[in-house]
């Protein structure tokens, strides 16, 4: 019976047979045979289809005919990419032009790379690219409207949705393989959090002032900083008197707005953020026209972690202070997790690429619009041994990754996340293959599903 089960698994994926072949220890071989028998019972008569399937995003893009522009073919032999250049607009509509640029030319042309959330692909707005209408998502249009009006923004920007011909599968696959070079060669990454909302400009100003106070008084505690006078420029911006207001009394009305800027933004939960932050020379975060640096987040996050509060500010009820303090701390937790993970990978990346299994396990809680990007977004950060191919179905991509990981990952680590313990969302996916998309949506921030761990 064991031979029949192995033959069945072999028809789905050759990895299992290779894996059993290297398990020369009697106890390990016995364990694996029992495990496979157990898996077979759970999978029953399940059919495992590897037929290509479009993602939701691809279906919407193709059905809506997102772009009417004609793309010039890229020369892959010289590592060509396209860059977007803004044109003058007298009517407020975003107008831009695409040029081709070879990455082999190095710093000959300076450009920025945009990091952003695509947003709902059903909700679009037309911009003009090469004089032709292009239906871009509203979140992307909002970013372009800001960038086109900021004199200091780069003249040239790389944006995946526009600079890659999304209708050309071969080009998409090739450009994903070039992501490492694209982000490494960019002078900076512009991380777009979204348009100005919920007083985000004022929240960013509060953050920057807290960082300034921390730098001036590194040993100052949380209560001590919030009891200091609010700066005049913040008070004037709100139309308040320039005396008698503390930073806390100024920040309290923004209690709900602080997490809206940070923990509640989908940007911080994108899996692509890892590659973009790890490879970037410099990152500028943008929310509307307001900007800040990643160090603004990490300085405050580290300060909160190392300065526990043991008192409460004067003139405020304990319950009200506790509510504010807990909300303020929690607001920084989500971006701190993403930034800390990126820094950890970056430190390893400078010497050698991180271990593939550790990388995937660390990124479990991060999400992608296209479930195949749960794999493809990490290809540039580790030696994985597979290439992006968007003609493959999600099931085929996850099976291909399983073929690699079952030879590298610890057994207890791999099977902790498989369909044996966690129900797969795809009916055709074998239960011994990890459903990365389901895991990313089940995992909460601060812990991993089913007892997993985060480390690099």
| pLDDT average, residue stretch 223-247 | 83
Kind plus residue range of the DSSP H or E element containing 157: strand 156-158
Q: Looking at 186, 216, 232, which one is the last position of a domain?
A: 186
Residue 51 lies in a domain: no
Query: What is the C-alpha to C-alpha distance for residues 216 and 341, in angstroms, rounded to an integer?
Result: 28
The pLDDT of residue 444 is above 80: no
Q: Looking at 349, 376, 393, which one is the last position of a domain?
A: 349
Report strand pairing: 95-102 vs 124-129: parallel
DSSP structural state of residue 416: H
Q: Which of 16-20, 122-126, 369-373 shows the lowest mean pLDDT across its residues?
A: 16-20
Q: Which of 52-61, 168-177, 327-336 shows the lowest mean pLDDT across its residues?
A: 52-61
Average pLDDT, the chain: 82
Residue of 338, 257, 241 whose CA lies nearest to 290: 257
| pLDDT average, residue stretch 123-141 | 95
pLDDT at 153: 60
- 281 contact partners, CB below 8 Å, separation of at least 6: 184, 186, 187, 188, 189
Q: What percent of the chain has pLDDT over 70?
A: 79
Q: Do the Cβ atoms of 179 and 274 come closer than 8 Å?
A: no
Beta-carbon count within 10 A of 271 CB: 22
* 366 in the same domain as 330: no
pLDDT at 343: 86
The pLDDT of residue 61 is above 50: no
* 153 in the same domain as 97: yes
Residue of 250, 268, 253 whose CA lies nearest to 332: 268
* 367 in the same domain as 404: yes
Query: What is the C-alpha to C-alpha distance for residues 171 and 151, in angstroms, rounded to an integer?
Result: 32
pLDDT at 32: 46
Query: What is the C-alpha to C-alpha distance for residues 455 and 361, in angstroms, rounded to an integer?
Result: 8
Query: What is the C-alpha to C-alpha distance for residues 295 and 76, in angstroms, rounded to an integer?
Result: 36
Domain count, the chain: 4
pLDDT band for position 241 (cuts 50, 70, 90): low
Query: What is the C-alpha to C-alpha distance for residues 122 and 33, in angstroms, rounded to an integer?
Result: 48
pLDDT at 20: 38
pLDDT at 398: 95
| pLDDT average, residue stretch 145-168 | 88
pLDDT at 213: 95
* 205 in the same domain as 345: yes
pLDDT at 426: 79
pLDDT at 154: 64
* 412 in the same domain as 306: no
Phi, psi of 320 (to 5 degrees): -70, -40
Range picked from 31-45, 61-75, 327-341, 344-358 for highest mean pLDDT: 327-341
Give the domain range for residue 376: 356-451
pLDDT in tens, 286-333: 999 999 999 999 999 999 999 988 788 888 899 999 999 999 999 999
- 74 contact partners, CB below 8 Å, separation of at least 6: 80, 81, 82, 100, 171, 174
Residue 381 lies in a domain: yes
SS3 246: strand
* 317 in the same domain as 290: yes
Helices (H), 229-379: 232-237, 247-251, 257-261, 272-279, 294-306, 318-349, 356-362, 373-376
> And the tokens for 164?
């890659």
Return the higher-pLDDT residue of 346 and 373. Answer: 373
> And the tokens for 95?
């107008």
The pLDDT of residue 43 is above 70: no
Residue of 6, 43, 36 whose CA lies nearest to 411: 36
- 17 contact partners, CB below 8 Å, separation of at least 6: 6, 9, 10
Residue 192 lies in a domain: no
pLDDT at 175: 94
pLDDT at 412: 86
pLDDT band for position 11 (cuts 50, 70, 90): very low
pLDDT band for position 147 (cuts 50, 70, 90): very high
The pLDDT of residue 4 is above 60: no
* 178 in the same domain as 205: no
Q: Looking at 349, 364, 386, which one is the last position of a domain?
A: 349
> And the tokens for 149?
């009006």
Query: What is the C-alpha to C-alpha distance for residues 84 and 87, in angstroms, rounded to an integer?
Result: 10
Residue 168 lies in a domain: yes
Q: Do the Cβ atoms of 407 and 426 come closer than 8 Å?
A: no
Residue 141 lies in a domain: yes
* 229 in the same domain as 343: yes
Query: What is the C-alpha to C-alpha distance for residues 305 and 296, in angstroms, rounded to an integer?
Result: 14
Q: Do the Cβ atoms of 379 and 387 come closer than 8 Å?
A: yes
| pLDDT average, residue stretch 181-186 | 93
| pLDDT average, residue stretch 141-152 | 89
The pLDDT of residue 71 is above 90: yes
Bridge partners, 61 (sequence order): none
* 325 in the same domain as 260: yes
Residue 193 lies in a domain: no
Q: Is the dihedral of CA 198, 199, 201, 207 positive or negative?
A: negative
Range picked from 28-37, 105-114, 442-451 for highest mean pLDDT: 105-114
SS3 209: helix
pLDDT in tens, 401-443: 999 999 888 988 898 888 766 677 777 888 889 999 988 887 5
* 345 in the same domain as 204: yes
* 135 in the same domain as 21: no
Beta-carbon count within 10 A of 441 CB: 13
Residue 49 lies in a domain: no
* 370 in the same domain as 245: no
Q: Do the Cβ atoms of 106 and 44 come closer than 8 Å?
A: no
Residue 366 lies in a domain: yes
């Amino acid at each position: 019976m064991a031979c029949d089960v192995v033959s069945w698994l072999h028809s789905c994926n050759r990895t299992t047979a290779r894996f059993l072949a290297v398990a020369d220890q009697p106890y390990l071989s016995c364990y694996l045979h029992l495990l496979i028998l157990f898996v077979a019972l759970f999978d029953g008569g399940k059919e495992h289809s590897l037929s290509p399937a479009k993602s939701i995003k691809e279906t919407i893009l193709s059905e809506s005919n997102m772009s009417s522009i004609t793309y010039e073919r890229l020369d892959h032999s010289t590592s060509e990419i396209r860059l977007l250049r803004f044109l003058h607009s007298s009517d407020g509509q975003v107008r831009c032009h695409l040029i081709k640029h070879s990455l082999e030319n190095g710093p000959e042309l300076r450009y920025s790379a945009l990091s952003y959330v695509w947003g709902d692909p059903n909700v679009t707005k037309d911009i003009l690219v090469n004089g032709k209408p292009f239906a871009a998502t509203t979140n992307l249009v909002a970013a372009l409207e800001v960038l086109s009006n900021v004199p200091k923004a780069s003249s040239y920007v790389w944006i995946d949705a526009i600079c890659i011909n999304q209708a050309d599968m071969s080009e998409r696959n090739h450009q994903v393989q070039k992501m490492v070079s694209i982000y490494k060669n960019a002078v900076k990454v512009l991380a777009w959090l979204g348009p100005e909302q919920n007083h985000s400009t004022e929240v960013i100003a509060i953050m920057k002032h807290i960082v300034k106070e921390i730098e001036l008084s590194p040993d100052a505690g949380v209560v001590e900083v919030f009891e200091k006078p609010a700066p005049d420029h913040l008070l004037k911006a709100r139309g308040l008197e320039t005396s008698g207001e503390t930073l806390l009394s100024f920040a309290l009305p923004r209690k709900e707005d602080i997490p809206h800027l940070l923990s509640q933004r989908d940007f911080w939960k994108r899996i692509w953020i890892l590659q973009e932050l790890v490879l970037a020379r410099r990152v500028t975060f943008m929310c509307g026209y307001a900007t800040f640096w990643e160090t603004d987040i990490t300085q405050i996050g580290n300060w909160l972690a190392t300065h526990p509060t043991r008192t409460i500010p004067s003139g405020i009820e304990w319950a009200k202070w506790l509510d504010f303090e807990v909300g303020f701390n929690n607001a920084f937790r989500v971006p701190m997790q993403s930034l800390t993970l990126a820094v950890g990978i970056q430190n390893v990346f400078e010497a050698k690429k991180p271990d593939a299994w550790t990388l995937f396990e660390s990124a479990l809680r991060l999400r992608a619009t296209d479930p195949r990007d749960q794999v493809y977004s990490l290809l540039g950060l580790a030696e994985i041994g597979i290439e992006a191919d968007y003609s493959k179905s999600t099931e085929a991509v996850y099976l291909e990754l399983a073929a690699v990981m079952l030879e590298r990952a610890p057994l207890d680590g791999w099977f902790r996340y498989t369909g044996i313990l966690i129900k797969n969302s795809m009916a055709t996916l074998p239960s011994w293959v990890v459903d990365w998309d389901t895991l990313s949506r089940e995992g909460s921030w601060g812990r991993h599903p089913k007892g997993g761990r985060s480390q690099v």
